[in-house]
Amino acid sequence: MRGWGLVPAVGIVAAGLVGVPGTAQAAPAATAPVCRFGVPAKLTITAPDTMVDFGYGAACPKTMVDATWMGRAEGIDGSSYTVHCTWGNPPCGFVVDLSYPGHTMHWIPQGYGKDANGRKVAELRSATSITKYGAAVKLTAGRVGTKTTLSARPTYYSAKTKGFVRHHGRVLFQSKDPGSSTWKDLGYVVPNSTGAAVYTITTNRSRAYRAYVASSATVWYAYSAPVTK
């Protein structure tokens, strides 16, 4: 009889052990969203005091109204440009002329993203951008018989003159057959003393033409609008 009495007792103890809650575990800390600087990777200067306005990255919380990044130009010791993003639509912006044209800017977060009460709502992440001066190419074409003459005048924005000036880079002329989506290289020409690069082609067919100047250390590349002759 004693043996039978032990069985239910053991069962009760076991059941009790199963039902006893263990030591409470601390809830894992919430991870703040990651917010990247929304600066465009490519910035272009085409006028004095060019401004660029932009928002936060897509993953940034809507409650964030205060964030700061400091830009440092690659290759320039001691360079810095601080951008403080706050209230506004869009919330970020700066004068592009001051972002060290021709140098890659590394935008480094300063602290964390805050809401209107100063509370942390986002982890900030870095970004890079590069600023160069804008270029343009004006292309004209004339045809006499089977000869088509192309004349391109490339220019670029100069911070010194605060306007577009003659571009000395060589010009690549290209053509495209009707119905084709492929541009074919015709040849390079260096602009003459008047700033014009001239190319002549002999053909019986009408084609589309365009001209191109490549990027340099401080100036972006540019294509002309296409012309058909």
Domains parsed from the chain with CATH numbers: 34-132 (2.60.40), 135-228 (2.60.40.730)
Local confidence band at 10 (pLDDT 50, 70, 90 cut-offs): very low
Quick check: 17 pLDDT over 80?
no
Which among 24-38, 55-69, 80-94, 204-218 has the top mean pLDDT?
A: 204-218
- Cα–Cα nearest to 127, from 36, 51, 64, 42: 36
Higher per-residue pLDDT: 27 or 13 = 27
What value does the mean pLDDT take over residues 200-215? Answer: 96
The residue that leads in pLDDT, 88 or 115, is 115
Q: What is the pLDDT of residues 20-53, one digit of tens each?
A: 444 455 444 458 889 999 999 999 999 999 999 9
pLDDT of residue 107: 96
The whole-model pTM stands at 0.80
Please give the backbone phi and psi of residue 8, each rounded to the nearest 5 degrees, phi first.
-65, -30
pLDDT(171) > 50:
yes
The secondary structure of 75-144 as a DSSP string is: T-TT--EEEEE-SSSS-EEEEGGGS-TTSEEEEEE-S-EE-TTS-EEEEEE-EEEEEEE-EEEEEEEEEE
pLDDT at residue 56 in the model = 86
CA neighbor of 34 nearest in space, from 54, 61, 55: 61
For residue 185, pLDDT beyond 50: yes
More confident residue, 24 or 155: 155
Averaged pLDDT of the chain: 87
Predicted pLDDT of residue 154 = 98
**Per-residue confidence (pLDDT) for residue 31, from 0 to 100:** 80
**Quick check: 7 pLDDT over 60?**
no
% the chain with pLDDT above 90:
79
Model confidence band, residue 88 (pLDDT cutoffs 50, 70, 90):
confident
pLDDT at 153 exceeding the cut of 70: yes
pLDDT for 206 beyond 60: yes
